Structures are given as structure tokens and as C-alpha cells.
Amino acid sequence: MKKIGFLLLVVVLFSCQKEKEKKKVEPSPKVEQPKPPVVKEFGFNVDDFTVVKDTIKPGDSFGEILDNHGVSRGKVFEIATKIKDTFNVTRIQAGKPYVLFKSKDTSQTAQIFVYQDNEIDYTVVDFRDSIIATKNKKPVTLVEKVASGVIESSLLQTFDDIDVNSLVAYRMADIYAWTIDFTRLESGDEFKVIYTEKYIEDTIPAGIDQIKATYFKHRGKPIYAFRFEHDSLDQGFDFYDHEADNLRRAFLRAPVKFSRISSRYNLRRRIKYYGNRIRPHKGTDFAAPIGTPILATADGIVTKSERKGGNGKYVKIRHNATYDTQYLHMSRQAVKVGQYVRQGDVIGYIGMTGNTSGPHVCYRFWKNGRQVDPFKQDLPASKPLSEKLKPEFFEMIKPIRQKLDSIQLKKQEIL
């Protein structure tokens, strides 16, 4: 019996050992590796193609680009003919980027051409099977941002100091162009602004979208501006203050952005160019670098665009039966006689033609056929917001004004 018990014990121990060894040699379960993410550009899987990125160079043509990448001239002609209503291949511009998706076989032939008009808009020409051209946009996200500052020297310098895109400053200058003289800002003036910025595919900055609201305190006077959109408005939107008064006037205060007044309207001014003799100066001089754009201060018809004597190259605009304006000493004009221009359109560029000792535009202003000082005129206001739209406007600006007022002023640190 003892011998039988001993044999049973040996069998049990041997079985347990086999079971352990069996467990040891069992393979561990397979862990699946995550698949690499699919990378797409312009809607195409880049792993399916050989991708070539380049820029249109001076002298390049659509045909030459495709020919250099394996597309026959006959095929190029067929492509250009079929897509002409969507994409005119003769109008591709030097400096614009493009992408070619080529086959991965030994021929490496181009199959898709993508032309980028700008950071957002692009055209896809797909000629793999049938020939199709489509215009597309990259996904754009709008991000709301705020900025504030206290003026120490100039608006642009303040935006540089607080590291905010200077395009916001230019947009603010456009909004307040009728109410604030940006050539005469004072130290201590302050601003707050709510704006939206565009991002391509959530990550790539693509410029400023719009100003939603802004506050500017100039010489102790606060001026609000709120963007209000409605189908009945001329441009689809306009800017109004907190009392629904339109900020625009019939005339801009200046024909040049961020310039300084070098000489004002003065009927007894001594002019260095004429030996310091007293000669009436019936214009206002705005000094700026050569080539700076000159803007029409109001809507109107160009009545003169010529070069004449001491005026040099100049443009004159008839605005209505009461007002005319003239812009002297241009390096070149950008409009022709009879052309209709809108307020803010570029009509020429700062120069030194005619009788002048430095680059500037002499801005002259007529009222009923007589030259007057534009800064002493009670210029007409723009069309006010209609009474029926005011309740909607006031309701819309409530939360925006609260947010604007709560923005803390960012002051430049003094080291």
C-alpha cells in the first residue's frame, strides 16, 4: 500500500509540473499595433501618390509644368479645354504655390494638379480618369480674441508693444477714420477691441476676420463702435456707437493712413520753396513716404487726373453739387477721368512731383466752388440707423459691451 501511495504522489507531482510547463510555453496574446494615421492633403491620401510641392516661377505655364511631369501635350490641351469654365490655366500667377500628385509607378506621371490662390482658396484639377476641376476652401475656424492698450507714441507702436497683429490696428483706424485724427493721438489715449482671427485647420493663422466691437478713449472722450449686420444696410453692415449713431461721415478726415500733417490750411503761410514769402496755402499737407497709397475721402467721379505745373501729378474728384477734393504731388495716379470711386479707394501714391520740397500729398477741399479748410467744416453724417432696427441693435450689443468693458487695459511695462 505504501508503495502504491508513493507512486500516486509521483504521478500527481509530475502532472502538476507538466501543467506548469504547459502554462509557461503558452504564447502571450498578440497586441495589435495601432495603424498609422491617414495623412491627407486637399482631400487626397498622400501615401497613394508621390507628392511634389513647388511655386509658379516667372515664365512658367500650366502646360510646361505638366509636360515636365510626364503629361503629354495632347493631354494638356484636352485638360485646359475641358476645365476652362472653372479654371483658366493662362491666368496662373508667379509666386503662387502648387502641388502635383503623381502616380507611384515607374512612370511617375502627374495625375492631379492643385493651384493655391491664397492660404484658404484652391483649385483641384483631377485628370486620372475623367477630367474634373473644382474650386475648394480649406476648413477655417474663427477664434474670438481681445486686445487692449494705452498709447505712448502711436497706435501701430502700441500694437507692436503688446504683440498683436497690426492689421487689427488698421481695421480700427478704418472704423474711427471719421471721428479720430490718428495723426494727433495723445499719450494716455486707450483702446479695447474684440475681434476674430482665422485659423486654417485649427492651427495655421490666416489673418484677421473682423472687428466685432471696439472702445477708444481719445482726449478723455470714450467712443464705442459696434459692428451691426443687416440686409437693409448698404454694405450689409456698419459700425454704430452705444447710442446707435453712425460713426461714418461723408468724408474721411485724412486721405492717408497714419501720416502726419506737415502743413495746415493757412492763408498767410510763409513758404520756403518760394523764398519764405507769404503765399496762401489753401491745402492741408500730409507727409508720408514715397509710394504710400492716397485714398479718396468720399465717393465721387474723377474729373481730373493729369500733370500740371506746380501741382505735379494730381487727381480731382467731384463728390456732389457742393463738394470737390483734390490730391497733389503724386508719384503716379491710379484712376482715370470719368471713373467712379468709393470712399477709401486708392486713387494714387505719395510722390514729389510739381513744386514740393518733400514727399507728401497736398489735400485741397472745395465747398460750393471755394477752397476751404476741411477741418473747420461741419461735414454731413452718414445715414443713421433706422428706428425700427434700433431695438434689435441695442439687444445685440448688451453682452458685447459688457465683455468690452470688462477687458483689463494692458499697459506697457516700464523697465
Cα separation, 322 vs 237, in Å, equals 27
Which three three-digit cell numbers place residue 8? 500516486
For the chain, the residue count is 415
**Residue predicted with more confidence, 87 or 40:** 87
Q: Which pLDDT value is given to residue 40?
A: 83
- Structural domains of the chain in order of their starting residue, each with its CATH number: 42-137 (3.10.450.350), 139-248+382-415 (3.10.450.350), 260-376 (2.70.70.10)
| Confidence check: pLDDT of 338 > 90 | yes
C-alpha cell at 264: 495746415
Whether 211 has a pLDDT exceeding 80, the answer reads yes
Average pLDDT for 78-86: 93
Question: What's residue 173's pLDDT?
Answer: 87
**pLDDT of 9 higher than 60:** no
The 10s digit of each residue's pLDDT in 368-397 is 889 998 888 877 777 778 899 999 999 999
Q: How confident is the model at residue 100 (pLDDT cuts 50, 70, 90)?
A: very high
Average confidence (pLDDT) over 8-31: 56
In angstroms, the CA 340 to CA 299 distance is 8
* Strand pairing category for 121-126 and 132-137: antiparallel
* Separation CA 116–CA 136 (nearest Å): 10
Using one digit for the tens of pLDDT, what is the confidence trace for 271-314?
Answer: 565 566 666 678 888 999 999 999 999 888 999 999 999 899 99
pTM > 0.85: yes or no: no
Dist CA 415 CA 404 (whole Å): 29
Q: What is the pLDDT of residue 329?
A: 95
C-alpha cell at 265: 490750411
CB atoms within 10 A of CB 271: 16
> In the prediction, which pLDDT does 202 show?
79
